[in-house]
Structure 1
Amino acid sequence: MYRILVINPGSTSTKLAIYEDENLVSKDTVRHTSEELSPFKHIADQYEFRKEVIKNFLEKSGFPLSSFSAIIGRGGLLRPIPGGIYEVNELMKEELRQGKFGEHASNLGALIASELASDVGIPAYIADPVVVDELDDLARFSGHPDFERKSIFHALNQKAVARAVAEQMGKKYDEVNLIVVHMGGGISIGAHRRGKVVDVNNALDGDGPFTPERSGTLPMTQIIDLAYSGKITYDEMKKRIKGNGGLVAYLKTNDALEVQRKVEEGDEYATLIYKAMGLQISKWIGKMAAALSFQVDGIVLTGGLAYDKDYMVKWLTEHNQYIAPIYVIPGGDEEKALAEAALRALRGNEKVKKYPPKEVNNA
């Protein structure tokens, strides 16, 4: 039996879980107020604060560190790397401490996992961080050499549900072609070709369908006109793209459940906007089908919006069932996905990679 500690730091919370093989033993989400986090100028400064939260969780759970087989943290903002499981090493930790490729609370996952694991001589891992980059060379071209398409998406959940659907099919992940649609506050739609995400929209920086709070791909000339109009600041412009876009801009809320209630009550405008978001998602599913030469074994709907079977799932099924069978795996259990990755490493079912892999040279 393998006992695994999962550490998943988010912007305003620390999610923790203990698994024994595939079985969840204990789980907690510790919320952090803005007052608690305000003294920390940089994400790395939160290190001791977050570590204390984790130690308290372990004390309450009754499991000493020495009883664990491995610790896995949510992967942070690193250089672009292929998907997989990585053992935390000194270079990875140094880049995360420096915030070399960006600052995010998830950077702390590997750092804390490594320190706790080293105290008891067990491995520390990360798996499938948001910077997973397996794009085909052709998918990198944007249309102008000054701009390259980047791979930033919900890699951990996308790959976890892709493996689960492949298993349902009686196949391995690297034997199938899937389109995975993660629908949350951000929406990423990936073309999975035999175990690699060969094309995906950049869910962070304004690429793809509009979402509960992001504008997605916008008409470029209109963006340029607004940016140079003198009526809007740089920060306000960024907020139009991410934070104040999508459902927030149209309906003044990023709560999809509230929008669904409006639809149920017969609000025609809310229904129009919600359907428009569904249509944009369908268009991107079509793009990813083209990236797979329309050889698609299945379309997987996941993330929070996949719970909406009466509207969003129904609409997407109606639009896309002609491409491939639809599979629905709601939510996005990152702790479970991380525990499964650590278990594959411990059992020798997947080779653990060294950071950075030799084939990546983008320091």
Structure 2
Amino acid sequence: MNATRVLVLNSGSSSVKYQLIDMRDATRLAVGLVERIGEQTSRFKHTCLTSGDTRELDGPIADHDAALKAVAEELARDGLGLDSPELAAIGHRVVHGGMFFTEPTVVDDAVLHEIERLIPVAPLHNPANLTGIRTAMALRPDLPQVAVFDTAFHTTMPESAARYAIDTKIADRHRVRRYGFHGTSHAYVSRATAHLLGKAPEDVNVIVLHLGNGASASAVRGGRCVDTSMGLTPLEGLVMGTRSGDLDPAVIFHLQRVGGMSMDEIDTLLNKRSGLFGLCGDNDMREIQRRMEAGDEEARLAFEIYVHRLKKYIGAYYAVLGTVDAVAFTAGVGENAAFVREAAVEGLAGLGLAVDGARNAVRGDEPRLVSPEGARVAVAVVPTDEEMEIATQTYALVGKNS
């Protein structure tokens, strides 16, 4: 029997998310999350989807090595262990691949070295991603380990979109350019949107709006990204839960010179104390909606700033693409907040954009259109599935040889 299973691992700084997927029919066999790694209050939730059993464990998990060994033990209890001959590969989410990695890649020493070299431009993410890969390699050294990069989908951007207008020698020396993130989500959603329209991805132009606590937009022409809102880091672009998104770079100089803030303090401000949270003290869109309905003007202003930025990017990417077949909303806010979708396209009828109130109010787990019948540009809600995208890319790379 050919090996058809892929274990998807997403190793964060203090967590490990995972899914075991059988690629014969895209069936999830097990899912789980280990969080608060390194703390006394570590938590581990594992669900075997073939039996419906869920197990929760509380207690200290010292490091990622211990976390992944615990994952392997729980999978083995369900007869889904890492030693199974049906396991074809382990697919790893890696946040930053720079310009070197443009597609999923089987990990070897050279790949590990390059991911390590990229740590200065992804200091919060790449170290944890590396730890997960190395631990998995130690557990199954004979099994292909595949790195799937958040930045890869955006490497098709032309230089006119990827370059910042600064001295090119300095930019090249320090690898300063726009890389973009959430690439696996943008790839999955743009392709799923084309299928929803009954067309091939290469025949469709899509604006993808990935709206979660982190948020990003992309312009996708014929299945290839031509622009995206995040840049050197995930800080650029849309207003997010706790990140500022776009701002005048001189704000940083001003805060240092006039405000007396250190670089670390400014970094913390822009990444963790800005965005919706900085504007109104909440980064949960549900709470912001509740506050607006209660007449809270601070929450309303925060929401208006959020939507204003969103509309600017929709308009900008409409201009970049020239013609647009669909605008697709995805991720936690994009999929669930009907009022955000409505506000984002309000007043854009001249661009062919509108939502149907009844359709927009419907909630579901399947891709669906929320625009009026016969709309010139489709407005879609497409639940993202980054784990399935990682599994699909991993299996496409190694499955034929398994």
TM-score of the superposed pair, with normalisation by structure 2: 0.75
User: Does the C-alpha gap of structure 1 residues 115 and 168 become closer, same or farther in structure 2, counting only changes over 3 Å?
Assistant: farther
Secondary structure (helix, strand or coil) at the match of 1:56 reads: helix
Alignment match of 1:134 (pick from 156, 159, 170): 156
Q: Confirm or deny: 8 A CA contact 2:106 2:144 kept in the other structure.
A: yes
Alignment match of 2:72 (pick from 36, 40, 55): 55
The whole-number CA distance in structure 2 between the counterparts of 1:58 and 1:151 is 36
Give the Å deviation of 1:15: 0.8
Give the Å deviation of 1:244: 0.8
Give the Å deviation of 1:159: 0.6
Secondary structure (helix, strand or coil) at the match of 1:106 reads: helix
Once the two structures are superposed, the pairs formed by residues 24-35 of structure 1 within 5 Å of their partners are 24-33=28-37, 35=39
Count of aligned residue pairs for this structure pair: 339
Q: Does 1:158 align with 2:181?
A: no
The whole-number CA distance in structure 2 between the counterparts of 1:84 and 1:37 is 37
Alignment match of 2:333 (pick from 298, 301, 305): 305
The whole-number CA distance in structure 2 between the counterparts of 1:20 and 1:194 is 29
- 1:327 — aligned with what? 380
Is the deviation greater in 16-25 or in 254-263?
Answer: 254-263
Q: Confirm or deny: 8 A CA contact 1:181 1:188 kept in the other structure.
A: yes
What CA RMSD, in Å, does the superposition of the two structures yield over aligned residues? 2.8
Alignment match of 2:394 (pick from 325, 342, 363): 342
Once the two structures are superposed, the pairs formed by residues 253-272 of structure 1 within 5 Å of their partners are 253-272=282-301
- 2:270 — aligned with what? 241
The whole-number CA distance in structure 2 between the counterparts of 1:52 and 1:236 is 37
The whole-number CA distance in structure 2 between the counterparts of 1:117 and 1:86 is 17
Q: Confirm or deny: 8 A CA contact 1:76 1:109 kept in the other structure.
A: no
The whole-number CA distance in structure 2 between the counterparts of 1:37 and 1:228 is 41
One-letter identity of the residue aligned with 1:207: E
Per-residue displacement from partner, 1:242-296 (whole Å, max 9, x unpaired)? 111111111112222221221232323312211220120110122122222x222
The whole-number CA distance in structure 2 between the counterparts of 1:159 and 1:36 is 38
Give the Å deviation of 1:173: 2.5
Q: Confirm or deny: 8 A CA contact 1:176 1:194 kept in the other structure.
A: yes
Is the deviation greater in 95-104 or in 227-236?
Answer: 95-104
Secondary structure (helix, strand or coil) at the match of 1:133 reads: helix
Secondary structure (helix, strand or coil) at the match of 1:301 reads: strand
One-letter identity of the residue aligned with 2:12: G
User: Does the C-alpha gap of structure 1 residues 140 and 212 become closer, same or farther in structure 2, counting only changes over 3 Å?
Assistant: same
Give the Å deviation of 1:230: 4.8
Give the Å deviation of 1:99: 6.0
The whole-number CA distance in structure 1 between the counterparts of 2:246 and 2:95 is 25
User: Does the C-alpha gap of structure 1 residues 287 and 71 become closer, same or farther in structure 2, counting only changes over 3 Å?
Assistant: same
User: Does the C-alpha gap of structure 1 residues 48 and 141 become closer, same or farther in structure 2, counting only changes over 3 Å?
Assistant: closer
Is the deviation greater in 243-252 or in 142-151?
Answer: 142-151
- 2:27 — aligned with what? 23
Per-residue displacement from partner, 1:58-84 (whole Å, max 9, x unpaired)? 223321323312221112433324643
User: Does the C-alpha gap of structure 1 residues 221 and 184 become closer, same or farther in structure 2, counting only changes over 3 Å?
Assistant: same
Secondary structure (helix, strand or coil) at the match of 1:144 reads: coil
- 1:106 — aligned with what? 129
Q: Does 1:201 align with 2:229?
A: yes
The whole-number CA distance in structure 2 between the counterparts of 1:14 and 1:177 is 34
- 2:9 — aligned with what? 7
Q: Does 1:71 align with 2:102?
A: no
The whole-number CA distance in structure 2 between the counterparts of 1:133 and 1:36 is 41
Q: Confirm or deny: 8 A CA contact 1:80 1:133 kept in the other structure.
A: yes
Structure 1: tracts of 5 or more residues without a match? 39-44, 352-363
One-letter identity of the residue aligned with 1:265: A
The whole-number CA distance in structure 2 between the counterparts of 1:31 and 1:200 is 30
Give the Å deviation of 1:180: 1.0
The whole-number CA distance in structure 1 between the counterparts of 2:304 and 2:102 is 33
The whole-number CA distance in structure 2 between the counterparts of 1:124 and 1:73 is 7
The whole-number CA distance in structure 2 between the counterparts of 1:173 and 1:116 is 38
One-letter identity of the residue aligned with 1:262: R
The whole-number CA distance in structure 1 between the counterparts of 2:135 and 2:221 is 34
